[in-house]
Structure 1
Amino acid sequence: MTGGRPEEQLDPVVLHHVVNSLGWPDLRPLQRAAVSPLLRGDDALLLAPTAGGKTEAALFPLLSRMTGQRWAGTSLLYLCPLKALLNNLHPRVERYAGWLGRTAALWHGDVGTSARRSVLWQRPDVLLTTPESLESMLISVNVDHRAFFAGLRAVVVDEVHAFAGDDRGWHLLAVLERLTRVVGHPLQRVGLSATVGNPAELLHWLQGSGVRTRTGRVVAPDLTATAVAPESAAPVAQPPPGRIELDHVGSLVNAATVIAALHAGEKRLVFCESRQTVEELGQLLRERGVTTFLSHASLSAEERRRSEEAFAEARDCVIVSTSTLELGIDVGDLDRVIQIDAPATVASFLQRLGRTGRRPGTVRNCLFLCRSGEELVRAAAVLLLWGRGWVEPVMPPPEPRHIVAQQVLALCLQERRVGDRTWAQCWNGLPPFGPGAEPIVAHLVDNGYLDVDDGLLFVGPEAERRFGRRHFMELTAVFTGPPEFAVLHGRAELGRIDPSLLTDEVQGERRLLLGGRSWRVTYVDWRRRRCFVEPADGGGRARWTSSGWVGASFPVTRAMREVLLGADPPVVLTARARSRLAVERDEQAPLVHPGGSLVVRGRNGDLRWWTWAGLRANATLAASLGEVVDPAQRFDDHSVRLRENLLPGDWRSLVGDAAQRLCLPEVGARALAGLKFSTALPRRLAEATLAARTADLAGAQAVLSEPVRFTTPVG
């Protein structure tokens, strides 16, 4: 290392090991840029592609600060969204801490009782955990959380974008605020993220209540660390060099044939958009003699671990995965990434693309294999946006009232009794956990979730009944998963399946597909929700109940319209892809127009408004325009069905003021059942929460601001 640079502020022992143990001639740009702000104690958001050295960019300065300021006890938390990612990171973090005579340990649901006792006794300097496990520590009667966290100084949140976009983000923020209250002083917050479209806003979100008083900095490889103001412009993500290829194969069988034939001798990571597709493709590849491993959320943790470790050590092989391998879990050096159909977002594609091109002399690459014309157009749209340097902003879901209810209950477990006038102080003024939540607390009291005695709130009988099983573990998870059956071969759990696979009528043996292999069901334990299996020769089926397709966004759907109007993404298009795109453009030509939206009467007489606005914008339009929309409110990503008797001359008078009277979509009882803790809310507030999350007012207004043309299809 050369002198006179920021890295010389690091502890000399860290510098010594960077050069002599890691063999690095220098730090990466992100790592250099992060040194000064993190040593000063600033909050920060560190941005870099996958494998960009973000973990070291955070740990090297924080470990140096730990030594220089003589932090004692558990002084650094490292939070991840996945237990597998924590397990993967632990040896590396332990090594770095060990350079300075410090320790690191894991704490999550798979860590055994004796190891947990050791953590509580020894108090490692760095604790790697999830927000859910952190909250479990706060509410556990076996953990003296005030003593254990007394020395806490900083928190690193890895893959912070994966938290911020859903309710786990609100849960994370609320738990960090409660923890700040417990330790009695602000905690330095450092987020690690791949490229996002709104880094300044993401940093401010991570800072929580500290955004008003603490300095925050976005640190990116190509930017100098600078103080961030709310109005700061986001750096635009530029497409990295590499080879992206778009192909149309027509079926999963054909996709398997292509994967088996291409790139022999190389390590290939294949991403699919559903667990069922992962299972079916895994089986097809094995039938073609390809060494294949699988990874998805319904495989047991042990099955996933074995699969990922075997893949990391092998060479000529494929691992087929859902988004579980999109984050930074290390599966060794990859040669190829293959995408089946289209990822939902540009950000997801960037994460997946970043898994390749890590070795010197290699470039990032991704081959898209699309099974249908619509998926081909969708993939082209994602790549069109990527080619323009556009990435989705990470936005927390609005109105998290159910998380407020969960947090109030968790706080009462943590403190045992909380003042009925002072509870809001425990989140340090962070909305929406402040005084505005009083109607939610009143509902919790009125319905027995909380009891009150002498001005103190404590957990009531209804909370005990609904969430008290297994020491209130249900209270720390903010998502409701569909009921699934555990699948066991002997004593080994293989994973979990949808119960419908055990109740559907079948002729002969009942067979399952799990882990890319077929299994014969030998016994079902209905009471304990378990089934026992033995290996079978083919014929297995895979299925899982979807958590709900949220639909394409306004930008992606608009980009699909652009593709249909002739725009090509800046990637290699195979002859098959070009041919199928030509067919799609020809067939969809009556439904797209560059100057606005179209209302088209189909051959069967139905009338559809082709908005190309995305599911949420169309849901908003359908809910707001009862005068013109079909009473059944049928809509999808691309269109809204209108009343068949609607005349062009009536359009302007009926919808002329629609942009000023947009309303939120209606919410049904089935949707409410999927919102965890909704029963702890007044029904009207639960419905308002879901309605706000299914709407896109800006997208709907954009559609209404465009010209509308009534046409009749040709032919």
Structure 2
Amino acid sequence: MILHPKVVELVRERGWRGLNEIQVEASEYIAKGYNVLIVAPTGYGKTEAAVLPIMSRILYEGAKPIAVVYVTPLRALINDITRRLREWGDRLGIVVARRHSDISKAEKKLRMKRVPHIIVITPEGLEIELDWAHKFRRFYRNVRWVVIDEVHDLVGTKRGAQLALLISRLRAFTGRDLQIVMLSATVGNPPAVARYFVGSSKRPLKIITSSARKPMEVTLRLVDEDWESMAKAVAELMEPPTIVFVNSRYFGERLREELERLGIRNVMVHHSSVSKELREESERLLKEGRVAGVIATKTLELGIDVGYVKKVVVMGSPAQVQTFLQRIGRSGHTMGEAMRGAVIVWHPVQLLEALALLHLAEQGVLEEPDTGYAPLDVVARMLVGSLLKSEPVRLEELYEIVRGSGPYSSMSREEFSRLVELLKRGRLLEVADGRVRAGPRFYTIWRFEHERRWGGHGFTEFFTFISSLPEFVVRTSDGREVGKLDAHYVFRYLRSDDVIRLAGRSWRVVRIDDRLYTVEVEEGGEGGEVPLWRGDTARRSGIVAKQMARLLEEVCRGALRVPFAEVLKAVADRYLSEVGAHPSASVVIRERVNGYTVYTLLADERVVEALGLMLLYRLSSEEGLGVEVKTSHVGLAVKTGHPDPLSMLLSLSRVELEELALESVKRSPYFRMKLRELAPSFGVRDDDEDLAVEALRQLQHEYYDFV
């Protein structure tokens, strides 16, 4: 029997008629010892598909704690997952514990006395456990299984690379070929994603997907570009309980304000700058059916338990198919039930993009993650962190750990040696007789909180790759946290007695403390200004841009009937009458508008950014400071004396273009920021040549596509 009799008994007690096809297949292959990637929509019981066969193996084989590391990308998911696993584990004698910064000291002490069989943790938490928790770390020698939830949110990112290295470290630490089980509702190129995390594992791999595709019922609504029209459309389309997804924190707060003007107050706001307590309150009220809906950014895209969601409303285009499916997939939480939603747009380009997303989603075409992204600062911190509470280690052992991870499997010995030399130069590593230990400079860069100097780096920051801009904490006079504000916004715009909107409410500013980075507020005040936050952007993917071009072509030929086709055809006809063509995958429209040469093109936004950057550098070098280049999601506008700057750029040879790309990135506003971001990880000054090479490589991955 694959499942242990005690597990089977619990399944029957729950009134289940049995396991579904995903759970049956997963149980079979997990029992056989395969590494497994399970891809299935929300509501298909992926968590149970992974955990029930593993719990059965724990019971059958008497596995010692810690037997399972259950990794989730969001700290907010830890409590939900822990609760779900304990519902099974408590009845089976399997101890489940959680690890995050908010748990009490009593709970931390308890796990030393009652070591858990399953620990639920984030990548950052696991890094701290292996690097710093020297007393508890010994229990990780017993690990046999690693479960990775919401795997699509990690793959191809620095946090994903960090986790891949941690799995390789665990493999070396335990001396076992750990069994890896990965879960996702949506992911492009599943085999590549699986290989990214299993690394050097010798186990066979099985990818499990549902044979039935979940039906999708999505409508489109085109409205006027004003807040009242948008809010009225939301009010008409909501069917409680509803999640309304927006692309920025500003948009969420502003939409909530407009709904309030329409007399709709039974809606809450959920985003990363709302305090944890208020986010949890909105999740609970939505789950209990006590609010009509919640306006959310990506904070509710992943599997936080908010109960049954009848409908999802998406404001504007989320720009990527995977994001679109994650959002729509929060509705229809049972097998066979349709995902129900609506997309509200207010511009023809948004309309075309939304149609492209719908078509790609229906065809099951998703963006493929960049599994080749291998940032060196992640390896640097792994090398240093693994030595903080350790005796000197042979360099060859560390190299094998790095090579054992998916993202760094092709790193040569020469590349590894150059990285070690860079860390030696930064005095973060010391090497003697082929053995390496942590260098003396670590604690001067990464300081404990009570030792921090102005502008220094906190010790806990070393373990995380979650980037964050400086923020002010907003609190009431009794210390209750409301949320966070961007420091740039506070310094530039905010004053005492101002009224702001945050967490869907109005707050009057009582005082601002720029030393402690706090803003004291009291509830109330008329109206209120919606704050601005940096970093709230979604970039259109290449496959969406290509699909937009195909759809526009078919609409123009009358070969495709889609909602609001007449709107798109009118735009295309205007281009045809004025310039003789419309934008497509192979056609760029050039126009002269108010002294600018304007190029309209349908492309990946990183391509547009790369073109804009190269044009700005080249033209500024020739003409001076009078040149202007502005980029957007539909193209770029150039103010220059050259009649056709893009043609000039494309006439350059490949070698000239490569040199231009390199020089232009060095003058990008992001270059200095990236140098400052990376320097602490290597311990060197931000003018180091090797650091500059890595900064350029990462910028080309994150912002610019020159290929």
Give the TM-score, by structure 2 length.
Answer: 0.87
Q: 1:393 to 1:297 in 2, by over 3 A?
A: same
Are the counterparts in 1 of residues 192 and 371 from structure 2 also a CA contact under 8 Å? no
Q: Paired residue for 1:482, among 457, 465, 469? A: 469
Q: Paired residue for 1:130, among 111, 116, 122? A: 122
Q: Paired residue for 1:596, among 577, 586, 589? A: 586
The reply on whether 1:555 has 2:549 as its aligned counterpart is no
Residue of structure 1 equivalent to 2:444: 465
Are the counterparts in 2 of residues 268 and 337 from structure 1 also a CA contact under 8 Å? yes
The reply on whether 1:170 has 2:156 as its aligned counterpart is no
Residue of structure 1 equivalent to 2:171: 180
Write the mapping of 1:84-233 to structure 2, written as runs, cut at 5 A: 84-141=76-133, 143-145=135-137, 147-210=138-201, 213-222=202-211
Residue of structure 1 equivalent to 2:635: 639
CA-to-aligned-CA distance 1:33-62 (integer Å, 9 cap, x gap): 111110111101001012221001001111
Q: 1:516 to 1:587 in 2, by over 3 A?
A: farther
Task: Tell me the distance in 2 between the aligned counterparts of 1:383 and 1:531.
Answer: 42
Residue of structure 1 equivalent to 2:393: 418
Q: Paired residue for 1:38, among 30, 34, 40? A: 30
Residue of structure 2 equivalent to 1:529: 517
Q: Paired residue for 1:618, among 584, 594, 608? A: 608
Deviation at 1:396, TM superposition (A): 3.3
RMSD, aligned CA:
3.3
Deviation at 1:650, TM superposition (A): 7.9
Are the counterparts in 1 of residues 572 and 582 from structure 2 also a CA contact under 8 Å? no
Aligned residue for 1:192, secondary structure, equals strand
The reply on whether 1:17 has 2:5 as its aligned counterpart is no
Amino acid in structure 2 at the alignment position of 1:164 = V
More off after superposition, 77-86 vs 438-447: 438-447
Task: Tell me the distance in 1 between the aligned counterparts of 2:617 and 2:172.
Answer: 52
Deviation at 1:345, TM superposition (A): 0.9
Aligned residue for 2:369, secondary structure, equals coil
The reply on whether 1:492 has 2:480 as its aligned counterpart is yes
CA-to-aligned-CA distance 1:322-371 (integer Å, 9 cap, x gap): 11111111111111100010112111111112111235885321111123
Deviation at 1:201, TM superposition (A): 0.9
Residue of structure 1 equivalent to 2:321: 346
Q: 1:390 to 1:284 in 2, by over 3 A?
A: same
The reply on whether 1:518 has 2:506 as its aligned counterpart is yes
Residue of structure 1 equivalent to 2:351: 376
Q: 1:77 to 1:571 in 2, by over 3 A?
A: farther
Would you say how many aligned residue pairs link Structure 1 and Structure 2? 671
Are the counterparts in 2 of residues 78 and 129 from structure 1 also a CA contact under 8 Å? yes
Residue of structure 2 equivalent to 1:226: none
The reply on whether 1:286 has 2:286 as its aligned counterpart is no
Are the counterparts in 1 of residues 65 and 117 from structure 2 also a CA contact under 8 Å? yes
The reply on whether 1:693 has 2:701 as its aligned counterpart is yes
Residue of structure 2 equivalent to 1:235: none
Amino acid in structure 2 at the alignment position of 1:126 = I
Aligned residue for 1:92, secondary structure, equals helix
Are the counterparts in 1 of residues 506 and 527 from structure 2 also a CA contact under 8 Å? yes
Same amino acid, percent of matched pairs: 25
CA-to-aligned-CA distance 1:542-577 (integer Å, 9 cap, x gap): 334423746322222223333444549999976xx5
Residue of structure 2 equivalent to 1:400: 375
More off after superposition, 637-646 vs 627-636: 627-636
Q: 1:414 to 1:552 in 2, by over 3 A?
A: farther
Q: 1:659 to 1:53 in 2, by over 3 A?
A: farther
Deviation at 1:398, TM superposition (A): 2.2
CA-to-aligned-CA distance 1:626-646 (integer Å, 9 cap, x gap): 998776665444435576535
Aligned residue for 2:112, secondary structure, equals helix
The reply on whether 1:270 has 2:261 as its aligned counterpart is no
Task: Tell me the distance in 2 between the aligned counterparts of 1:508 and 1:618.
Answer: 41
Task: Tell me the distance in 1 between the aligned counterparts of 2:46 and 2:91.
Answer: 19
Aligned residue for 1:41, secondary structure, equals coil
Are the counterparts in 1 of residues 613 and 665 from structure 2 also a CA contact under 8 Å? yes
Are the counterparts in 1 of residues 65 and 142 from structure 2 also a CA contact under 8 Å? yes
Q: 1:32 to 1:652 in 2, by over 3 A?
A: same
Residue of structure 2 equivalent to 1:666: 665
More off after superposition, 333-342 vs 376-385: 376-385
Residue of structure 2 equivalent to 1:65: 57
Task: Tell me the distance in 2 between the aligned counterparts of 1:190 and 1:127.
Answer: 15
Deviation at 1:487, TM superposition (A): 0.6
The reply on whether 1:443 has 2:422 as its aligned counterpart is yes
CA-to-aligned-CA distance 1:572-620 (integer Å, 9 cap, x gap): 976xx55654554445554625582235231445434444222222344
Q: 1:187 to 1:421 in 2, by over 3 A?
A: closer
Task: Tell me the distance in 2 between the aligned counterparts of 1:656 and 1:439.
Answer: 32
Task: Tell me the distance in 2 between the aligned counterparts of 1:572 and 1:122.
Answer: 63
More off after superposition, 424-433 vs 254-263: 424-433
Are the counterparts in 2 of residues 427 and 434 from structure 1 also a CA contact under 8 Å? no
Residue of structure 1 equivalent to 2:454: none
More off after superposition, 46-55 vs 665-674: 665-674
Amino acid in structure 1 at the alignment position of 2:117 = D
Aligned residue for 2:207, secondary structure, equals strand
Amino acid in structure 2 at the alignment position of 1:666 = V
CA-to-aligned-CA distance 1:406-426 (integer Å, 9 cap, x gap): 212212214253345543233
Amino acid in structure 1 at the alignment position of 2:69 = L
Q: 1:461 to 1:652 in 2, by over 3 A?
A: closer
Task: Tell me the distance in 2 between the aligned counterparts of 1:648 and 1:121.
Answer: 70
Deviation at 1:221, TM superposition (A): 1.5
Amino acid in structure 2 at the alignment position of 1:673 = M
Q: 1:243 to 1:409 in 2, by over 3 A?
A: same
Amino acid in structure 1 at the alignment position of 2:297 = T
Task: Tell me the distance in 2 between the aligned counterparts of 1:82 and 1:202.
Answer: 19
Task: Tell me the distance in 2 between the aligned counterparts of 1:567 and 1:97.
Answer: 55
CA-to-aligned-CA distance 1:272-294 (integer Å, 9 cap, x gap): 11111112222333342331122
Residue of structure 1 equivalent to 2:235: 260
Aligned residue for 1:386, secondary structure, equals helix
Deviation at 1:503, TM superposition (A): 2.8
Q: 1:580 to 1:507 in 2, by over 3 A?
A: farther
* Structure 1 runs, 4 residues or longer, greater than 6 Å off: 568-574, 623-630, 647-653
Are the counterparts in 1 of residues 597 and 644 from structure 2 also a CA contact under 8 Å? no
Task: Tell me the distance in 1 between the aligned counterparts of 2:112 and 2:321.
Answer: 42
CA-to-aligned-CA distance 1:165-186 (integer Å, 9 cap, x gap): 3211001101111122111211
Are the counterparts in 2 of residues 678 and 686 from structure 1 also a CA contact under 8 Å? no
Aligned residue for 1:46, secondary structure, equals strand
Are the counterparts in 2 of residues 425 and 434 from structure 1 also a CA contact under 8 Å? no
Q: 1:508 to 1:94 in 2, by over 3 A?
A: closer
CA-to-aligned-CA distance 1:661-690 (integer Å, 9 cap, x gap): 685561436444257434445332233322
Unaligned runs of at least 5 residues, structure 1:
1-7, 224-237, 702-715
Residue of structure 2 equivalent to 1:234: none
Task: Tell me the distance in 2 between the aligned counterparts of 1:550 and 1:448.
Answer: 38
Task: Tell me the distance in 2 between the aligned counterparts of 1:244 and 1:155.
Answer: 40
More off after superposition, 406-415 vs 543-552: 543-552
Task: Tell me the distance in 2 between the aligned counterparts of 1:650 and 1:253.
Answer: 43
Give the TM-score, by structure 1 length.
Answer: 0.86
Amino acid in structure 1 at the alignment position of 2:293 = V
Q: Paired residue for 2:342, among 335, 345, 367? A: 367
Q: 1:657 to 1:155 in 2, by over 3 A?
A: closer
Unaligned runs of at least 5 residues, structure 2:
450-457, 622-626, 683-689
